[in-house]
């Protein structure tokens, strides 16, 4: 049971002369194929004060030697703002969590209500960082990490990592349809050290962005981590993932979905379980509130009567005087 609880918390030249080495990409990308003509550079160009709502949903399913099951879906609604554009084209961005809820799923042993109450402390938290034109994301940090209890800080770390999927590192060569590049990364999360290799294939390029598919392989060395006060030995670490999406390089807008399946043997207190976890993350643009235009018909009904002796109409229905006060709209 301890291992199952831990899994919940774990939330990818010529002749004799030597040929010159290929140029090093700042994002550590290896371009496999630049794609067909016409090709063009892919760069983020977001205007200062540009604003967008984004929704990220996270589904997790756990298996510990036959025990476990799905967890309620976590849904995070955030507002993204480009607060500044620097001289080198880099963009200061801020994501503020406007809502964070959970939704019940079939066969889950946890209720959405119990998770939602626990996560409400994250509402209002802001994540800030610098988005480079090539898609690199630097100095991403949350402003509430020091104030949160350990268990919730761990949840915030998972949410923070999910926001990194809103941007995609881009190669420094012009790209066309069918282009492919590969990125190797070392990930450290919740005390674990993992290695991922992700291949991106561009399926179409247009004036504002592109669509893509991705595949990921994941591995890691045998290691010991500490979770909830328990030392956990991890071995036989591996995993695979797939993804697809569409990116608008002018709006911080991404619509996409990725799935990563992870497995490991985990030993604690002389008990070994084969732990499996599948995480599905969906990212989609939200909708900012649209001002409601006045009802022309209602305005006519509220006009003053021309006859001083005519009865004054009862406009309480139009004015909303007797109508129930609506709940504030969720951003």
| Residue 202, domain member (yes or no) | yes
Alpha-carbon distance values, 42 to 98, 134, 246, 285, 323 (Å): 30, 7, 13, 20, 52
What DSSP element (H or E) covers 32? strand 29-33
SS (H, E, C) 141-192: EECCHHHCCHHHHHHHHHHHHHHHHHCCCCCCCCECCCCEEEEEEEEEECCE
Q: Which structure tokens are listed for 192?
A: 């674990």
| Residue 304, domain member (yes or no) | no
Question: pTM value?
Answer: 0.73
| Residue 229, domain member (yes or no) | yes
pLDDT tens column, 101-153: 999 999 898 899 888 877 887 888 888 889 999 998 888 887 765 466 666 66
φ and ψ at 230, to 5 degrees? -110, 140
| Residue 30, domain member (yes or no) | yes
pLDDT tens column, 11-70: 333 433 444 444 456 677 999 999 999 999 999 999 999 999 989 899 999 998 888 899
- Give me the number of domains the chain comprises: 1
pLDDT tens column, 150-196: 666 666 666 666 666 667 899 999 999 999 999 998 888 778 899 99
Q: Which structure tokens are listed for 240?
A: 């695979």
| Residue 303, domain member (yes or no) | no
Question: Would you call 328 exposed, middle or buried from its count of C-beta atoms within 10 A (0-12, 13-18, 19+)?
Answer: exposed
**Cα torsion angle, 227, 228, 232, 238, sign:** negative
- The closest alpha carbon to 181, from 130, 135, 133, belongs to 135
Cβ proximity of 203 and 209 under 8 Å: no
Q: Which of the 8 DSSP states describes residue 122?
A: G
Question: Which structural domain range is residue 116 located in?
Answer: 24-285
pLDDT the model gives residue 46: 94
| Residue 110, domain member (yes or no) | yes
Cβ proximity of 181 and 200 under 8 Å: yes
| Residue 91, domain member (yes or no) | yes
- The closest alpha carbon to 282, from 101, 82, 56, 41, belongs to 56
pLDDT the model gives residue 276: 94
| Residue 298, domain member (yes or no) | no
């Amino acid at each position: 049971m301890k291992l199952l609880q831990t899994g919940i918390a774990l939330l990818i030249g010529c002749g004799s002369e030597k040929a010159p080495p290929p140029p090093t990409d700042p994002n550590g990308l290896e371009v496999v194929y630049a794609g067909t003509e016409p090709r063009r550079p892919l760069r983020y160009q977001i205007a200062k004060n540009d604003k967008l709502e984004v929704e990220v949903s996270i589904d997790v399913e756990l298996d510990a030697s036959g025990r476990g099951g799905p967890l309620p879906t976590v849904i995070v609604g955030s507002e993204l703002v480009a607060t500044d554009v620097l001289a080198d084209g880099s963009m200061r961005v801020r994501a503020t969590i406007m809502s964070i809820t959970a939704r019940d799923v079939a066969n889950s042993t946890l209720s959405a209500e119990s998770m939602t109450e626990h996560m409400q402390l994250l509402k209002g938290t802001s994540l800030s960082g610098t988005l480079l034109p090539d898609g690199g994301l630097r100095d991403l940090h949350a402003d509430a990490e020091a104030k949160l209890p350990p268990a919730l800080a761990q949840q915030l770390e998972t949410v923070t990592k999910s926001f990194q999927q809103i941007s995609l590192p881009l190669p420094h060569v012009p790209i066309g349809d069918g282009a492919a590049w590969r990125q190797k990364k070392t990930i450290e999360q919740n005390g674990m050290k993992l290695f991922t290799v992700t291949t991106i294939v561009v399926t179409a390029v247009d004036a504002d962005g592109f669509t893509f598919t991705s595949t990921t392989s994941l591995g890691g060395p045998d290691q010991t981590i500490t979770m909830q006060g328990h030392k956990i030995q991890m071995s036989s670490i591996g995993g695979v993932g797939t993804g697809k999406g569409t990116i608008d390089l002018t709006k911080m807008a991404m619509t996409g979905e990725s799935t990563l399946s992870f497995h490991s043997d985990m030993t604690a207190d002389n008990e070994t379980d084969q732990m499996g976890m599948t995480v599905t993350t969906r990212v989609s643009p939200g909708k900012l509130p649209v001002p409601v235009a006045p009802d022309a018909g209602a305005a006519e009904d509220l006009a003053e009567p021309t006859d001083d002796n005519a009865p004054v109409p009862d406009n309480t229905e139009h004015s909303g005087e007797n109508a129930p006060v609506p709940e504030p709209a969720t951003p």
